[in-house]
Chains A and B, each alone.
Chain A
Amino acid sequence: MERQIKLIDRTELLVIQATSFCNIDCSYCYLPNRSKSNHFDLRILSSVFENLHQSNLLHGEITILWHCGEPLVLPIDFYKQATAIIQCCSEFYKINIHQSFQTNGMLISQEFCDLIKEIGATIGVSIDGPQFIHDKFRKKRNGTGTFDETYQGIMLLKRNNINFSAIAVVTDNTLDHPSAFYEFFKTLSPTRLGINLDETSGINSSSSFLRGEEKKERFLSFFKSLWILSYEKGDGLLIREFEDMLYRLNLDSTVSFINTLTTPFQHITVDHKGNFSTFCPELMASPNKEFIFGNIDEVLVSEIHLNANFNKVKNDIERGVKQCKQTCDYFELCYGGTPSNKFFENGSFDSTETIDCLYTKKYMADLVIGMLEQQSDLQRYIN
């Protein structure tokens, strides 16, 4: 008899917008209000935990990710106060709360390093590659590049023996430079490199990735080079896109899979005013604010099923996933994709293929499957 497996409803990731402000102005950024000075009122923080507790979504552990704006523009005291509140909540609700920061790295200070070490937080730095790639899009408001300051921030982390992950946004421009890109990150040695495409999302209305054979071939050539450098030459740089695809391929048919981006409450995003959303954090960046389902001080997260707009979004997402399942050969490697990409690219959650899934799921799967099919010994690809 097949075992019945029931998911514990709990929030895994709490994305908190410490501020919508960002000290730089990357041309592909999806976030609105990056020039507005504001900050999250820490009095709301305990309300967030009380709300999730009352909603029966706090169990075991949760990660807070300070993101959606540059978190380090706020003074260190903000995070010291936040940490004191988080420790109280951790004890009161008997949960482990892990803190994580996603930052452009430019404002990393010794004080910040000390705090990171003290609280055991993890840190992800956004850096696009060597300077001639990075500075093309990651610019200050005066138009100058940000590489030097980001690199200095990373060096400070390294001097403090703080591990960091890296996220690089790859654009069409990057595809011509796989070796320089790889060697740079190999030397930088993040714990893991995640590669995002510049995507149509939030207020960023275009991507440098379009449909077409020429772009597909360049994309595949770039990632094939990275694969050869990282796996076949055994250099050891962990690239999220390959690791994750290998994980997907290593799952057999008895393994269930949760796509946390299509399942409500797995991710909760709270903006600096206490407004919250769920599913993809990018939905909070919609200019029309239609995916804000309430304010943390006013509505229990678990009660948003009474909200007609939430139900429409949830039902549309479910229909979109169902369509993917019925029509896409790659469904078992993807489980329905990313709702925010569907909405911002296709105009509806109730839709299927996006440019992002075409490149990062379908082409990536074709590449990895093709590379593995050529291997006589698969042992090193078991994870």
Chain B
Amino acid sequence: MQSLNKTTSERITSLRNKLQQKRREIGLEQPINIMAFDKFEKGFFNKIVWRDK
């Protein structure tokens, strides 16, 4: 079992790394830079941001 002896944070990080790796393998870009969440209809949605380079 993968989860034995791992903290919740470690499990989240490990899973995120695997999902990111898979994302790279299939050529998907990273998710957008800012996500927001509301509890009604939208659920997750993109936030528009200014970027200061």
Interface residues of A (CB under 8 A from B): 3-8, 10, 12-13, 59-60, 63, 65, 67, 100, 102, 122, 124, 165, 192, 194, 240, 243-244, 247, 249-261, 266-267, 329-330, 332-333, 338, 365-366, 369-370, 372-373, 378-379, 381-382
Compute how far the CA of A333 lies from the CA of B13 in the bound complex, rounded to whole angstroms. Answer: 11
| Complex contacts, B28 vs chain A, CB 8 Å | 382
Compute how far the CA of A10 lies from the CA of B49 in the bound complex, rounded to whole angstroms. Answer: 11
> Which of these, B12, B16, B37, contacts A260 with CB under 8 Å?
B37
A13-B40, A378-B22 in contact; A258/B11 too (CB < 8 A)?
A: no
- Can you name 19 extra interface pairs (CB under 8 A) apart from A257-B34, A381-B19? A5-B33, A5-B49, A6-B50, A8-B50, A13-B40, A13-B42, A60-B48, A65-B41, A102-B40, A243-B43, A243-B44, A244-B44, A247-B43, A254-B30, A256-B33, A258-B37, A260-B37, A261-B38, A378-B22
| Complex contacts, B23 vs chain A, CB 8 Å | 250, 382
Interface flags for B25-53 (1: CB within 8 Å of A; 0: not) read 01010111111111111111101111111
| Complex contacts, B22 vs chain A, CB 8 Å | 378-379, 382
Compute how far the CA of A194 lies from the CA of B16 in the bound complex, rounded to whole angstroms. Answer: 24
B5, CB-defined interface residue at 8 Å: no
> Which of these, A122, A257, A365, A370, contacts B35 with CB under 8 Å?
A257
| Complex contacts, B34 vs chain A, CB 8 Å | 5, 7, 255-258
| Complex contacts, A7 vs chain B, CB 8 Å | 34, 47, 49
Looking at B19, B30, B42, which has the most chain A CB atoms within 10 Å of its CB? B19
Compute how far the CA of A356 lies from the CA of B3 in the bound complex, rounded to whole angstroms. Answer: 24
| Complex contacts, B8 vs chain A, CB 8 Å | 329-330, 365-366, 369
> Which of these, A122, A257, A267, contacts B41 with CB under 8 Å?
A122
A338-B39, A373-B3 in contact; A258/B47 too (CB < 8 A)?
A: yes
| Complex contacts, A267 vs chain B, CB 8 Å | 38
Let me know if A252 and B51 touch, CB within 8 A: no
16 contacting pairs across A/B (C-beta < 8 A):
A5-B49, A6-B51, A7-B34, A13-B42, A63-B42, A102-B41, A244-B43, A254-B33, A256-B33, A257-B36, A260-B36, A329-B7, A369-B3, A373-B3, A378-B22, A379-B22
Let me know if A12 and B12 touch, CB within 8 A: no
Compute how far the CA of A83 lies from the CA of B49 in the bound complex, rounded to whole angstroms. Answer: 29
- B6 to chain A: closest CB distance in Å? 10
Let me know if A250 and B31 touch, CB within 8 A: yes
Let me know if A378 and B50 touch, CB within 8 A: no
- B20 to chain A: closest CB distance in Å? 5
Compute how far the CA of A332 lies from the CA of B38 in the bound complex, rounded to whole angstroms. Answer: 16
Let me know if A249 and B12 touch, CB within 8 A: yes
| Complex contacts, B7 vs chain A, CB 8 Å | 329
> Which of these, B2, B31, B33, contacts A373 with CB under 8 Å?
B2
Let me know if A373 and B11 touch, CB within 8 A: yes
Let me know if B41 and A124 touch, CB within 8 A: yes
| Complex contacts, A3 vs chain B, CB 8 Å | 51-53
| Complex contacts, B19 vs chain A, CB 8 Å | 249-250, 378, 381-382
Let me know if A251 and B50 touch, CB within 8 A: no
- B29 to chain A: closest CB distance in Å? 11
| Complex contacts, A256 vs chain B, CB 8 Å | 33-35
- B17 to chain A: closest CB distance in Å? 8
| Complex contacts, B44 vs chain A, CB 8 Å | 243-244, 247
